[in-house]
């Protein structure tokens, strides 16, 4: 049987092959590593900041090797997952997965878990549940969020297509948003809950139209296991289109979704707030950009993140692809957009099973 030490040795012996293979889609492998918590948040950010993808994978492998044999075992487990093998077909049947020369059989001391063995949330009801959309466009003291109506329309269409009941709330103050969320938490039902928030933002949260802030805790708490028994054990997904600070990654003229900003061909949705996954399970929070950075939106067609999300859902849901894999496709798509301005969506995941959103007949 293979030992933990042998898993580590396999990475060392095949390091050149892994670097050459994984650097082609370095962002995808980094997202999977983050979701498995093989790195700390600081380690992940430091490696992700590396501009050269080959150097990024080298640094990743070096860091994993430094963490010991068990982490190396988990990393090889990750490489064996179906979604990874589809992205990196050269891994299939490679020597890195072969049993040791002294092994009496092909079993491993720490068996590799296939993606197919993971549980799946039950999504059978029609409608599946509620998709609530908060779309704040007009503000008392901030710029109008041109292009947000296009995002609302795209979200409305795709989630109705996925058999959700869609409820839209437009131009709500902070207090109105809080009250609507609390009321919804008392009555919401179904196999799955979706919440989309499109607004200006700051480091503290998202803005209501009155310029007051709604924190992420105030957005999600009405739906946790204590406050919303009907959704206990069921997936609760939040898509937040807003920036996470005022670092401008662009050389073009932009408009920030903060109190200031100028009209331009490309605008940004700034959100700068901190999000922590609650102890309650079955939450997924998808954010349009990384900490401290702008999130881009074109007035005529909508935001990069929301438009990519809707496109990837339409493409992959009919194939039975799970939501986390779809979000990796969104990450890759958005990260490739722009020339002088760049954006990288991220997700915080506390899910226990795969979430597959079936297309109704």
Q: Among 22-31, 264-273, 288-297, 333-342, name the one with the lowest average pLDDT.
A: 264-273
Q: Give me the number of domains the chain comprises.
A: 2
pLDDT band at 5 (very low <50, low <70, confident <90, very high): confident
Mind listing the pLDDT tens digit for each residue in 164-223?
Answer: 999 999 999 999 999 999 999 999 999 999 999 999 887 778 999 999 999 988 999 999
pTM: 0.65
Of 303, 300, 299, residue with least CA distance to 271: 303
Distance CA 251, CA 314 (A): 32
| Interior angle at CA 182, CA 178 and CA 186, nearest 5 | 170
Residue 42: give its domain's CATH number.
Answer: 1.10.533
pLDDT band at 122 (very low <50, low <70, confident <90, very high): very high
CA dihedral 267, 240, 130, 360 (to 10 degrees): 70
Over range 43-60, report the average pLDDT.
Answer: 89
Q: Which two three-digit tokens encode residue 151?
A: 């995002």
Q: Among 5-9, 36-40, 206-210, 347-351, name the one with the lowest average pLDDT.
A: 5-9
Please indicate, yes or no, whether residues 154 and 73 belong to a single structural domain of this protein: no
Please indicate, yes or no, whether residues 26 and 159 belong to a single structural domain of this protein: no
Residue 318 CA to chain centroid, in angstroms? 20
Please indicate, yes or no, whether residues 153 and 22 belong to a single structural domain of this protein: no
Over range 271-298, report the average pLDDT.
Answer: 71
Q: Which of 72, 192, 196, 243 is catalytic?
A: 243
DSSP letter string, 329-360: HHHHHHHH--SS-----EEEEE-SSB---PPP
Q: Are 135 and 169 in contact (CB under 8 A)?
A: yes
For residue 3, the model assigns a pLDDT of 57
Query: How far, CA to CA in Å, does 327 sit from each of 263, 312, 321, 350?
Result: 30, 8, 10, 15
Q: Are 253 and 326 in contact (CB under 8 A)?
A: no
Please indicate, yes or no, whether residues 100 and 145 belong to a single structural domain of this protein: no
For residue 258, the model assigns a pLDDT of 46
Residue 333: give its domain's CATH number.
Answer: 3.40.50.1460
Is 355 within the bounds of a domain? no
For residue 23, the model assigns a pLDDT of 87
Please indicate, yes or no, whether residues 292 and 269 belong to a single structural domain of this protein: yes
Range with the largest mean pLDDT of 14-28, 262-276, 295-309: 295-309
Q: What average pLDDT does the structure give for the chain?
A: 83
Asked if the model's pLDDT at residue 35 lies above 60, the reply is yes
243 an active-site residue? Answer: yes
Distance CA 46, CA 31 (A): 14
Q: When comparing pLDDT for 105 and 54, which is higher?
A: 54
Distance CA 39, CA 294 (A): 25
State whether residue 40 is helix, strand or coil: coil
Mind listing the pLDDT tens digit for each residue in 253-278?
Answer: 444 454 444 445 677 665 445 544 44
For residue 204, the model assigns a pLDDT of 77
Please indicate, yes or no, whether residues 166 and 313 belong to a single structural domain of this protein: yes
Sheet containing strand 201-202, strands side by side: 201-202, 205-207, 213-214
Q: Which two three-digit tokens encode residue 155?
A: 């979200």
Please indicate, yes or no, whether residues 81 and 133 belong to a single structural domain of this protein: no
Please indicate, yes or no, whether residues 254 and 305 belong to a single structural domain of this protein: yes
| Interior angle at CA 108, CA 102 and CA 110, nearest 5 | 135
For residue 277, the model assigns a pLDDT of 42
pLDDT band at 105 (very low <50, low <70, confident <90, very high): very low
pLDDT band at 294 (very low <50, low <70, confident <90, very high): confident
DSSP letter string, 116-171: GGS-B-----SS-EEEEEEE----SSS---TTHHHHHHHHHHHHHHTTPEEEEEES
Please indicate, yes or no, whether residues 81 and 156 belong to a single structural domain of this protein: no
Q: Among 27-36, 115-124, 209-218, 260-269, name the one with the lowest average pLDDT.
A: 260-269
Q: Which of 32, 200, 293, 316 is catalytic?
A: 200
Please indicate, yes or no, whether residues 143 and 86 belong to a single structural domain of this protein: no
Give the 3-state DSSP-derived string for 174-186, with helices as H, strands as E and coil as C: HHHHHHHHHHHHH
- Domain with 144, as residue range(s), is 129-350
Please indicate, yes or no, whether residues 137 and 273 belong to a single structural domain of this protein: yes
Please indicate, yes or no, whether residues 266 and 307 belong to a single structural domain of this protein: yes
For residue 279, the model assigns a pLDDT of 44
For residue 295, the model assigns a pLDDT of 82
DSSP letter string, 226-282: TT-GGGTTS-EEEEEE--SSSB---SS----SSS-----SSEE----------SSSS
Helix (H) or strand (E) holding 58: helix 53-66
For residue 80, the model assigns a pLDDT of 86
Q: Prior bond to 127 cis, omega within 30?
A: yes
Last residue of a domain, one of 114, 138, 166: 114
Is 44 within the bounds of a domain? yes
200 an active-site residue? Answer: yes
Q: Are 17 and 11 in contact (CB under 8 A)?
A: no
């Amino acid at each position: 049987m293979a030992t933990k030490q042998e898993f580590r040795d396999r990475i060392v012996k095949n390091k050149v092959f892994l670097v050459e293979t994984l650097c082609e889609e370095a962002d995808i492998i980094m997202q999977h590593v983050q979701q498995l918590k093989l790195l700390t948040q600081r380690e992940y950010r430091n490696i992700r900041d590396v501009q050269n993808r080959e150097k990024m994978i080298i640094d990743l492998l070096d860091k994993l090797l430094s963490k010991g044999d068990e982490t190396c075992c988990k990393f090889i487990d990750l490489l064996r997952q179906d979604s990874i093998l589809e992205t990196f077909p050269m891994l299939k049947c490679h020597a890195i997965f072969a049993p040791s020369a002294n092994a009496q059989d092909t079993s491993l001391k720490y068996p590799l878990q296939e993606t197919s063995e993971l549980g799946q949330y039950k999504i059978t009801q029609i409608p599946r549940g509620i998709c609530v959309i908060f779309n704040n466009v007009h503000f008392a003291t901030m710029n109008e969020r041109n292009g947000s109506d296009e995002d609302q329309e795209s979200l409305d269409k795709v989630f109705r297509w996925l058999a959700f009941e869609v409820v839209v709330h437009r131009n709500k103050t902070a207090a109105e948003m809080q009250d609507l969320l609390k009321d919804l938490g008392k009555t919401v039902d179904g196999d799955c809950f979706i919440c989309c928030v499109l607004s200006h933002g700051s480091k503290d949260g998202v803005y209501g139209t009155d310029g007051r802030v709604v924190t992420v805790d105030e957005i999600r708490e009405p739906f946790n296991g204590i406050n919303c028994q009907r959704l206990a054990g069921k997936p609760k997904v939040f898509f937040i289109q807003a920036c996470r600070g005022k670092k401008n990654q662009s050389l073009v003229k932009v408009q920030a979704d903060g109190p200031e900003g100028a009209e331009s061909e490309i605008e940004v949705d700034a959100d700068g707030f901190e999000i922590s996954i609650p102890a309650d399970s079955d939450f997924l929070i998808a954010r349009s950009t990384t900490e401290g950075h702008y999130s881009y939106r074109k007035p005529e067609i909508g935001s990069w993140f929301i438009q990519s999300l809707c496109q990837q859902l339409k493409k992959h849901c009919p194939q039975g692809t799970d939501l986390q894999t779809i979000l990796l496709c969104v990450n890759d798509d958005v990260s490739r957009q722009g020339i002088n301005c760049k954006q990288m969506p991220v997700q915080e995941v506390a899910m226990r099973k795969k979430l597959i959103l079936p297309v109704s007949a």
